[in-house]
Structure 1
Amino acid sequence: MNFDALFAPGRIGPLEISNRILKSPQSTATSNADGTVSARTVNHYRRLGEGGIGLVMVEYSYVDEDASKAIHNQLGNSRREHTAGLGWLADEVKSTGARVGLQIAHGGRQKFLATAPIKSASDSSWADIEAQYGVVPTPMTAAEIDDVVTAFGEAAARAHNARFDLVEVHAGHGYLITNFLSPHTNRRTDEYGGPFENRSRILVRIVDEIRASVPREFPLSIRLSVTDYEPDGIPIEETVALCRILEAHGVDVIHASGGHHALHEWEVSPWFRPRTPHRWGWEQIKPAVSIPVIASGSIVTPEIANEIIASGSADFVSLGRAMLADPDWARKARAGRALEITPCIRCNDGCLHRGLFQTRSVGCSVNPEVTEEERFPITAADERKTVAVVGGGPAGLRSAAILADRGHLVILFEPNQLGGALVHADGAAIKQDLFALVEHLVHEVSRRDIEIVREYAGVDEILARGADAVVIATGAPQRAPDFPIEDCANVVLSAEVGAANPVRGSVVIVGGGLQGAEVALRIAEMGGTKITLIERGPALLAGGEVIVTDVDRLPTYLDAAGVQVRLNAPVIGVDRAGVQVATGDGEEKIEADTVVLALGTAPAQNDLVTDLRTTGLEVHVIGSAKTPGRVFDAIHTAFFTSRLV
């Protein structure tokens, strides 16, 4: 398939761009503590430029030394000493043929550092930040607003001096300017509060200040949220009117996203949310202005991106997490090799949960090299070996491909469908991103010279193939129930439920961890079911396998899907009529046509590992066969182990 629309040249103001693909600005937390550019920052953005995109938008940089810095190791653009490093960064990206822009921002009430002072339009606090240190935003004075306006103008001038091709003001996602724009966070009664004209005043002043500080031919972008999705927040009608005003004041492009951190399922939409959630909004902006509109938000495949451009929905597409997953996204799409793109699975695990939320640099579940570019190359092995990979799940598939790239003769043993525990995602709308990963991993194995043996691999089978080394990727077993199950009961495992094996009628799911929650949503998709989710403990999603964006929002989606949740309900037994649970008053029978066990995984016994090691073979264990985990663990252990075999 070709993606011609996506690779047509485009223009932002006088700036010519080779194609319609942008890397969305996205914090990496790779800068030095004082905000200066580090080698890691440069390597990361240069690698993105090498991937063939038209414009690399560098992450948000803080504009003053007062309260605008939002996160650890954030890029700085608050003083002259930052400019030299920014110039280094800009030159390195432009050397790849890509254009490069810099985003400038003030954190406002979303100061993740949670340290005083936090300055915003009003004292309206984001509970997550206030809970850390008890710091509440201080409403900005008129003089402080004047200072921030000046700071934005000076930061734009420094971006121009550093020879960036474009500067972008972050006026969305819940940062300072959004705090003024949204009635949800702006309770002021002065000239910056109340009606739309007043709430938009600070942004218009910032635009005017920037236009007075840089040459007119230096393009200016505004990134904004089509709405913050708060009931009392920014209405789309105001956003459209704002965009018209911004164009009149010299803005060259509108970068349309949505949401804010308090409603992060709109800003960094997770796997259970539909893709392109803000399309309805940017499509109202586009006909209202004559300047280009950039579409942003869960645009993960070239098919989706190309259709957006071809249909006239937007003029450019902006990809964030998708470019972390595969910096060569654009190059592979241009060549028509879409299945070679490592897909973003929108898990928010590596980038957020184990990354920025842990005060680390950003990472990625499916790309272990993010922010560590050039440190872990896949090189030819010193000695060519015959390597048996046992298990065709995500860890085994990734390992097999890496081993083949290192020059080894690889034999992959898998008696069942390739994809392992992820094959249940086939046909499920909420799991479409995960199944895209399965298709990619299977494709990567199929296009290499890897023999696939459709049989169980025991010691004899492995030795018969002349293996010098073995990689065990057999996954982890499902946790065994600690309650009796009658032989005639209709019981299935969560991984067995899918489009090819649907369930109907009354369904009881035993286990309220991630397995239970996601299988409940999969079954709800099928229709014609009454679903009860049983959890023995006091809360859903309490296990270690869940991440913040799952815990915060999945219960809401379960409720919307009509799933009845029963907490503090340990199972006593299962029979043909349903599930018997203990209650505070005794026992209760919950009737069910089908009982789905979603009890999580248990540590693998790995008897095969023990037996193989007695033969003297080199044996490595990866993925859940080593320690039960998520996709992050499967891919990372496969990568770091296989590059050394």
Structure 2
Amino acid sequence: MTLQALSRPGRIGSLDLKNRVIKSPQTTALANQDGTVTQRLVNHYKRLAEGGVGLIMVEYSYVDDDASKSIHAQLGISRREHIPGLGWLVDEVHAAGAKIGIQLEHCGRQKFLGTAPIKAASEVSWDYVESQYGQRPAPMTEAEIAGVVAAFADAAERAYLARFDMVEVHAGHGYLLTNFLSPHTNKRTDRYGGSFENRARLTLEVAAAIRARIPRDFPLSFRLSVTDYEADGIPIEESVELARRLEEAGVDVIHASGGHHALMEYEVSPWYMPRAPHRWGWEKIKEAVSVPVIGSGSLVSPVVAAEILESGSADFVSLGRAMLADPDWTRKAQEGRLLDIVPCIRCNDGCLDRGLNVGRSTGCTVNPAMGEEYRYPVEPAPAPRRAAVVGGGPAGLRAAAVLADRGHEVTLFEPGPLGGSLVAATRSARKQDLADLRAHLVHQIEARKVTVVAERADAAMLAGYDLVMVATGGVARPLDGARHARDLTDPGEVASPVVVAGGGLTGVDTALWLADAGHDVTIVEAAPALLANREVFTDAGALPGLLVEAGVKVITGTTVTGADDGGARTADGGSIPAATVLAATGYTTDPALADAVRETGAQVVVLGGARRPGRVLDALHDAFFAARPA
């Protein structure tokens, strides 16, 4: 299909936009601790603007200094002292060719900082905060509610004075306004609780107060969750009615997504969730309002985004993680360069699991320069060299491309299909995001002067190279009598019942793939629980449920020691009947090749899983930071 819809001009209120692509507001933790703007934050948004996006919505910004700040290094808009830095940010983005808005937020019960006071509609807590910090929300008094309404209006005026092009209120994703909107979190008995009329009162008061404070031609957006996906939460019918009333209150656009933090797989949908999961809901809102609707949530593919616009499903598309992965997403999509787009794989690793969740700034698995824009350019090498890369997995492919961009003469040795661990990882149709990454990485090799040799390299073959990068991946730990799970390419190659020995990500992934193909599968894990080796939180939280849905049986606290004709032998002397036993017992490293090549006098660098078994983030970051200065 055509991608032309992405390039069509659009309008929100009085604001003309050069295209229909919007960068979603997404916290970066790049501000100072007092909420003021930093050079890193300016660089991040300036780089996004250079990528051709029509409108950048700056991350959520806290509106008061009482209880609205959510996370470390969050951007602030609570005081006049914030305006100079915000104005600087606006000017830089405008100079780079994009329009810019800012999102206003009160965290409510979703206070990652865990510090008192936590204020919300009711005492219903978010268990993540309560379990870590022991803090429960205090129900807001009506005087405090009035103060929050005034704080939102004050903040909106500051956004106008800083010369933003529009302002947005966060009324979704489980923050304060959603705490009032959702019956799941609102147990009040006063005029702010109970009926929809009462639960919507605060949101509508905020809209009215802002519209009374800022000029009518200054566009106002509200971001809503179509639902929070709780059984007793926000029904879509109420979201539709709220959108109608917000339009009547002078709101110029509805920005629709879904979920909240307690059900993170809906808010920041991982790889195993469908793309555009909230489409069903924003289409109902669009039918009910005449203002534009922005569709948001896992729109990582230009084809998906363009189809949404072309079909009239939404008026604009909003992308978050996809533009962390590639700030040039818009321009490349408009030019039809789909394989040049660095794809978001929806892993939630660099941005969340090893980013915000551990107190760092936001990062990105596939974009090592995210949050450090302009600091790590890939520049021509002063003295080009003959370089060999051994291994065509994610680390090897990325390293070879960077070395070629530096001007080195690069040869890539890979005896199998390019992609390495991604070949096995993309066996399942569930892994469409990783399949896109593999296609992108392979295309980058094909588009450069890299010689690919389809052989397994040894030290003799590598003699004469100035630089050798070993990216052969981790070595699968053997299990007596069993085939390794990652070596399986066709579910028809095995017979049921199947025992998968090991309940890490490889084991779980293999079990789901085989169960989807109709096999009877049992996972046997030595630890007390599956995915116990520090897996990404969205995987660890949801994959066990997917196994149940797929009919996979799970045995924990049991070690498989080998396989024979009867099935899987266990450490306690028992046996689990199986026609096929697959090993998914982890990976180790083998330094033999690197040691042998060092003896030839070449510079040797070991990358990715060959250095230390890890995830895609480790492989890609390792490769980039090793090859960039080489």
TM-score, normalized by the shorter chain, greater than 0.5: yes
CA distance in 2, matches of 1:56, 1:301: 18
2:578 pairs, out of 558, 580, 592, with: 592
Aligned twin of 2:608: 623
Is this contact kept in 2: 1:172–1:224, CA < 8 A?
yes
1:522-544 CA deviation, whole Å, 9 max, x = no partner? Answer: 22222x21111111121111114
* 1:582-608: CA deviation from partner (whole Å, max 9, x where unpaired): 56xxx5432222222111111x12211
Is the contact between residue 427 and residue 513 of structure 2 (CA under 8 Å) also seen in structure 1? Answer: no
SS at match of 1:451: strand
Q: Distance in 2 between matches of 1:503 and 1:53?
A: 48
2:350 maps to a residue whose letter is: G
Q: Which residue of 2 aligns with 1:488?
A: none
Deviation at residue 571 of structure 1 after TM alignment: 1.6
CA distance in 2, matches of 1:619, 1:437: 27
- Paired residue for 1:534? 524
- How far, CA to CA, are the matches of 1:598 and 1:631 in structure 2? 17
| Residue 159 (structure 2) aligns with | 159
Q: Distance in 1 between matches of 2:152 and 2:177?
A: 11
| Structure 1 pair 615–82 and aligned structure 2 pair: CA distance change class (3 A) | same
2:430 is aligned to 430
Kindly report which structure 2 residues correspond to 1:126-165, keeping only aligned pairs within 5 A, or say none. 126-165=126-165
Aligned to 2:562: 573
Alignment of 1:33-432 (within 5 A): 33-432=33-432
In the alignment, the residues of structure 1 paired with residue 300 and residue 104 of structure 2 have an alpha-carbon distance, to the nearest angstrom, of 25
The structural deviation recorded for 1:560 is: 1.3
Which amino acid is 1:594 matched to? T
Amino acid at match of 2:544: P
Match of 2:100, SS state, is strand
Q: Note if contact 2:478-2:583 (Cα within 8 Å) is conserved in structure 1.
A: no
Question: Could you tell me how far apart the structure 1 residues matched to 2:566 and 2:255 are?
Answer: 56
User: What residue ranges of structure 1 are gaps of 5+ in the alignment?
Assistant: 486-490
SS for the counterpart of 2:387 is strand
C-alpha distance in structure 1 between counterparts of 2:485 and 2:7, whole Å = 42
**Residue from 607, 619, 622 that aligns with 1:637:** 622
For the residue of structure 2 that corresponds to 1:416, the secondary structure is: coil
Per-residue CA deviations over 1:102-153 (Å, capped at 9, x if unaligned) read 0000000001000000000001001110112211100000000000000000
Q: Deviations over 1:473-531 (max 9, x none)?
A: 111100122xx42xxxxx432212345765453211110111111111122222x2111
Change (3 A) 1:523 1:572: same
Counterpart amino acid of 1:520? A
Contact map agreement 1:244 1:289 (CA 8 A) in 2: yes
Whether the 8 Å CA contact 1:2–1:334 is kept in 2: the answer is no
Partners of 1:329 and 1:498 lie apart in 2 by 32
Deviation at 1:426, TM superposition (A): 3.7
Q: Equivalents in 1 of 2:478, 2:484: separation in Å?
A: 11
Amino acid at match of 2:487: E
Q: d(CA) in 1 for partners of 2:489 and 2:98? A: 43
* Residue deviations 1:527-580 (CA, integer Å, cap 9, x gap): x21111111121111114x12111111111111111111111222431123213
- The answer (yes or no) to whether the contact 2:17–2:99 under 8 Å persists in 1 is yes
Which whole-Å CA distance do the structure 2 matches of 1:109 and 1:606 have between them? 50
Instruction: Look up the SS of the partner of 1:331 in the other structure.
Output: helix
SS at match of 1:388: strand
Q: Secondary structure at the match of 2:384?
A: coil
SS of 1:41's partner is: helix
Aligned to 2:468: 470
Structure 1 CA distance, aligned partners of 2:493 and 2:230?
36
Aligned sequence identity (%)? 59
The correspondence of residues 487-498 of structure 1 with structure 2, limited to 5 A, is 491-498=482-489
Which residue does the alignment assign to 2:546? 557
**Change beyond 3 A, Cα 1:346–1:132:** same
Alpha-carbon distance in 1 for matches of 2:54, 2:36: 25
Contact 1:229 1:263 in 2 (8 A): yes
Q: What secondary structure sits across from 1:194 in the alignment?
A: coil
Cα separation, 2, equivalents of 1:193 and 1:180: 7
Number of corresponding residues: 630
Normalising by the residue count of structure 1, what TM-score does the alignment of the two structures yield?
A: 0.96
Contact between 2:191 and 2:198, CA under 8 Å: does it hold in 1? yes
What's the TM-score, normalizing by structure 2? 0.98
Measure, in 2, the Cα distance between the counterparts of 1:191 and 1:10: 39
Deviation of the 1:58 alpha carbon: 0.3
Give the match's secondary structure for 1:148: helix
- SS of the residue 2:540 aligns to: helix
> Is the partner of 2:497 in helix, strand or coil?
strand
Q: Tell me how far apart the structure 2 counterparts of residues 500 and 336 of structure 1 sit (CA, whole Å).
A: 35
Matches within 5 A, 1:444-523: 444-463=444-463, 466-481=464-479, 484-485=480-481, 491-499=482-490, 503=494, 505-523=496-514
Quote how far apart the aligned CAs of 1:238 are: 0.5
Question: Is residue 2:21 matched to residue 1:21?
Answer: yes
Q: Secondary structure at the match of 1:460?
A: coil
Q: What RMSD in Å do the two structures reach over aligned CA positions?
A: 1.2
1:252-280 superposed Cα distances (whole Å, 9 cap, x missing partner): 11111100001000001111222111111
Q: Deviations over 1:64-107 (max 9, x none)?
A: 01000000000000010000100110111111111101000000
The equivalent of 1:613 in structure 2 is 598
Per-residue deviation at 1:286? 0.9
- Rounded to whole Å, the distance in 2 between the matches of 1:351 and 1:474 is 26
1:581 is displaced (CA, Å) by 2.9
In the other structure, the counterpart of 2:515 is 524
Gaps of 5+ in 2: none
Distance 1:377-1:242 versus aligned 2 partners, 3 A rule: same
